[in-house]
Amino acid sequence: MAPQTGSTEKETQPVSTFPRLFTWEEIRTHNGRGQDQEQWLVIDRKVYDVSKFAKRHPGGSRVIKHYAGQDATDAFIAFHNDKSLVKKYLKSLLIGELAPDQPSFESNKKQSLLEDFRELRCTIEKMGLLMPNYVFFCLIFLHFLVLDAASWLVVWYFGISLVPFLVGIAFFTIAQIQMGWFQHDLGHCSVFRKPRWNRLLQIVVITALKGAPASWWNHLHNQHHAKPNCFRKDPDLNMHPLLFSLGKSLSVEELVLTVLFNIRVCLMYVPLMGFNNFMVYYWLARYLESNWFIWVTQMNHIPMDIDYDKNKDWVSTQLHATCNVNQSLFNDWFTGHLNFQIEHHSLKDSGEHWLEAYLHG
């Protein structure tokens, strides 16, 4: 009798165990703080291991680590404009999904609130309220270029007597702060639909026109949006008054642009007023700008809850950490539209200014 090998071979074939099924309890243990230091997170019920990818994450390593062991679905949606492109890179990180008996939401998160918010966001996107208006941003760009030129022209034409000296400082201060608000929009990919164009223009504005590195700003600001007002996760709460700028080395390209900025302003102003007067001119403008910046950014964060990360749902995390300031044409301009902090933090996408105008009349 011939040996019956078919059934034996079938029985010895390995059974595929993918997709692996996980519980929320298992996922919470992989928060980067265990013995294995693995970092898992959940997006749309899919479980991803980002332990190694975190170092290569374009938005910075820490921002993705802040969601290790948690559901990152709404944060993922808020941070990525082109979801279809990003999801291609997620495939290699996929290790499984939530078991069928596991809820889509963590037990401590408000399911009804998140469902309503997701429906609201879909409606807003369908209405086109997140689409950027290029005329608006072009006017913003031109207006601070005019102010920057005016700060030099006033001193060049009228000299450095007290009045033109102070007027020049005022123009320079306003130009610099408005550049800051504009590069903020670029950093959020809010001006162009393609992220690459936003990044390129952001480098020009914040690095070549302001003298600060774009990568440094993005790395810190992404963390702020991921976990606002959370100790050890929001870098805005962890700034050392003297050592805040120390850390990993800047990229060569940004370092060169920063040096070129300093050379540019020195060549523009030192021949007109001398080095000592330029130091007063420049640092007084920076002092006024920093106070302006702190006033705007902190008045809609500091009054709100500040605590360690409680892993609240996305909407609650943003609402408990932000507040709005009364809308007016002056407030909109003075704050770079950051008086609409709730909308900005909740949606963090392109075209927010038009959404704000629609919601607030």
- What DSSP string runs through 298-310? HHTTTTS--EE--
pLDDT-derived band at 17, boundaries 50, 70, 90: low
* Tens digits of residue pLDDT in 57-66: 888 889 999 9
Task: Say if strands 307-308 and 230-231 run parallel, antiparallel, or are unpaired.
Answer: parallel
- Strand (E) or helix (H) holding 40: strand 40-43
> Do 188 and 350 form a contact (C-beta atoms < 8 A)?
yes
Q: Which of 108-112, 125-129, 144-148 has the lowest mean pLDDT?
A: 125-129
> Do 254 and 207 form a contact (C-beta atoms < 8 A)?
yes
Work out whether the CA dihedral 223, 224, 228, 233 comes out positive or negative. Answer: positive
What is the residue extent of each domain of the chain?
20-107, 134-347
* Tens digits of residue pLDDT in 33-91: 876 789 999 999 999 999 999 988 888 889 999 999 999 999 999 888 777 778 788 88
Tell me whether residue 330 is exposed, middle or buried, using C-beta atoms within 10 angstroms of its C-beta: 0 to 12, 13 to 18, 19 or more. exposed
- Sole residue written with tokens 């996305």: 314
| Residue among 75, 111, 90, 98 at smallest CA distance from 27 | 98
Report d(CA 197, CA 235) in Å as an integer: 26
Task: Please state which CATH number belongs to domain 20-107.
Answer: 3.10.120.10
> Do 227 and 66 form a contact (C-beta atoms < 8 A)?
yes
Give residue 18's pLDDT.
Answer: 63
Task: Say if strands 94-98 and 46-49 run parallel, antiparallel, or are unpaired.
Answer: antiparallel
H helix and E strand count, the chain: 15, 7
> Do 106 and 24 form a contact (C-beta atoms < 8 A)?
yes
* Tens digits of residue pLDDT in 236-292: 887 655 544 444 455 677 888 888 999 999 999 999 999 999 999 999 999 999 999
